[in-house]
Amino acid sequence: MNYQEFIDVLMGIYNQTGFLGLTWGHVVMWCIGLFFIYLAIVKKYEPLLLIPIGFGIFIVNFPLTPLMGFSKEGVPELLQAFYHYGITWEIIPCLIFLGLGAMTDFEPLIANPKTLLVGAGAQLGVFITFIGTILCGFTLKEAASVGIIGGADGPTTIYLTQALAPHLLGANALAAYSYMALVPLIQPPIMRLLTTKKERQIVMKSLRKVSKKEKIVFPLIAVSIIALLIPAVVPLMGMFMFGNLMKESGVVDRLTETAQGALMNIVTILLGVSVGATMQADKFLNAAPLLIFSFGIVDFAFCTAGGIWTVKLMNLFLKPGHKMNPLIGSAGVSAVPMSARVSQVEGLKYNKKNHLLMHAIGPNLAGVIGTAAAAGMFIAMFK
């Protein structure tokens, strides 16, 4: 080998490395990915999702990595395969709902079904944000997918975004999970602003005991009504109620354990990494994600306010002794069980013996159903 051949070989090796393709955009995306990994590890913000998402962002932003493209034969590369079969086919959000259903105890909602209306009121921000995003130049479908962020339900956000505006998937999912983690910071000032001290001290009547039969019948009733009224969200709600039926039946413990454990963990990993992998520098670095993050916080604020206003409105019609503490209204924004915990913490500040957690779980679960209902309304609007 002469000197020129030696140099050619070295240059060939150099050209096959990622250094040549590196841009400032990649470096910015590494910082974004590392920032979310930092939030997950150091601040413990939604670590189960932000670590896979952060790592997905980080790893996919190295040049020439065979992760999100297709081979010459048209075979999807690793993360592209996860994304294609898991998210484009809308399988992963539905499987996550299956696991969530298998983990959820609907007793507080069954014991106090009127809290379902709080879950509906807490969708206010979803619709207000829709208008705001259109004013900023987003299309109707994009606006709907951004609006749903305020519902604080990751799988529903992903499901709707994939259906209406898949190019916004990364930013929407990241905004939804980031703000869900920030619920303890975002909600309390709004809760205090919209309620009086007297309202915050309302002690709610203890919840009645719910029988096993009621718990078994609930998923069947719920899925029947949802399937008849908003069939578009039955893939999500059907799986949610199926998981819950398995749990409450008590006769398929092996299936329930798999749904709430191993299966849930597997799909969470695949979901996080594939969502992160959609955020490649050339597609992500523009004004849209910044606008989405800005609208996301406004959305959350209005959804929180919507839940609180709904409770206050309902209190006008409820008899004394049956009134609800408006602090549980903020839990209408899904984010289970974080927002219910926020209601509990805020309630204890004004009455040391006022434990609102179980009361707030009702609107919390209603928020999951309400967000899915809002998503169904949007899907029906465009399809």
Partner 1 sequence: MESINWGYVFSTLIIRFIGVFIVLAILQIGMSISSKIIRRIESRQSTNPSKE
Binding site for partner 1 (CB under 8 A): 109-110, 113-114, 116-117, 119-121, 123-124, 127, 130-131, 134, 137, 139-140, 210-211, 213-214, 217-218, 221-222, 224-226, 229-230, 366, 369-370, 373-374, 377-378, 381
Strand-pair partners of 76: 70
Which lies closer to partner 1 via its Cβ, residue 109 or residue 174? 109
Which lies closer to partner 1 via its Cβ, residue 58 or residue 295? 295
CB of 309 to partner 1, least distance (A): 13
**Other beta carbons less than 10 A from residue 136's beta carbon:** 15
Q: Which two tokens stand for residue 116?
A: 């379902």
Which lies closer to partner 1 via its Cβ, residue 176 or residue 379? 379
Which lies closer to partner 1 via its Cβ, residue 83 or residue 378? 378
CA 118 – CA 120 distance, rounded (Å)? 5
Residue 205 DSSP symbol: P
CA 40 – CA 46 distance, rounded (Å)? 6
CB of 250 to partner 1, least distance (A): 16
CB of 222 to partner 1, least distance (A): 6
CB of 243 to partner 1, least distance (A): 18
CB of 363 to partner 1, least distance (A): 11
Q: Which long-range contacts (CB under 8 A, 24 or more apart) does 287-292 make?
A: 288/138, 288/168, 288/171, 289/170, 289/171, 289/174, 289/175, 291/133, 291/136, 291/138, 292/146, 292/149, 292/168, 292/171, 292/172, 292/175
Which lies closer to partner 1 via its Cβ, residue 29 or residue 222? 222
Q: Which two tokens stand for residue 357?
A: 């957690």
Q: Which two tokens stand for residue 348?
A: 């204890």
CB of 304 to partner 1, least distance (A): 16
Which lies closer to partner 1 via its Cβ, residue 178 or residue 310? 310
Which lies closer to partner 1 via its Cβ, residue 46 or residue 107? 107
Q: Is 354 in contact with 203 (CB distance < 8 Å)? A: yes
CB of 134 to partner 1, least distance (A): 6
CA 275 – CA 263 distance, rounded (Å)? 18
The vertex-103 CA angle with 98 and 106, nearest 5°, equals 100
CB of 373 to partner 1, least distance (A): 5
Task: Output b/e per residue, 249-281; b: 16+ Cβ within 10 A.
Answer: eeeeeebbebbbeebbeebbbbbbbbbbbbbbb
Q: What are phi and psi of 3, to 5 degrees?
A: -60, -45
Which lies closer to partner 1 via its Cβ, residue 120 or residue 327? 120
